[in-house]
Amino acid sequence: MSAIIILLIISLLVAGGFLLAFIFSVRNGQFDDDYTPSIRILFDDKDPESEDRI
């Protein structure tokens, strides 16, 4: 029975750590950009005319 209590306490500490990391990332603006990912596919990565051809 004591092993279950120890595992429960450890799992709550790990879950709390993940919750703190999530709150920290939200407050630092990690999830603010909603527009750019949806239009990123519309733009090419490189301009084919500007590449140096051998």
User: Please, which pLDDT band fits residue 16 given cuts at 50, 70 and 90?
Assistant: very high
Does 31 map to a domain? Answer: yes
Task: Assess if residue 27 is contained within a domain.
Answer: yes
Domain count, the chain: 1
Residue 17 counted as domain residue: yes
Is it the case that residue 25 has pLDDT exceeding 80?
yes
* Any domain includes 52: no
Using DSSP's 3-state secondary structure scheme, residue 34 falls into coil
**Measured in whole angstroms, how far is the alpha carbon of residue 19 from the centre of its chain?**
13
Contact criterion met (CB below 8 Å) for 7 and 13: no
Q: Within a domain: residue 54?
A: no
- Structural domain that includes position 5: 1-45
Residue type for 18, please?
F
Residue 53 lies in a domain: no
Q: Determine the average pLDDT of the residues in 21-49.
A: 81
For residue 19, pLDDT beyond 80: yes
User: What secondary structure letter does DSSP report for 48?
Assistant: G
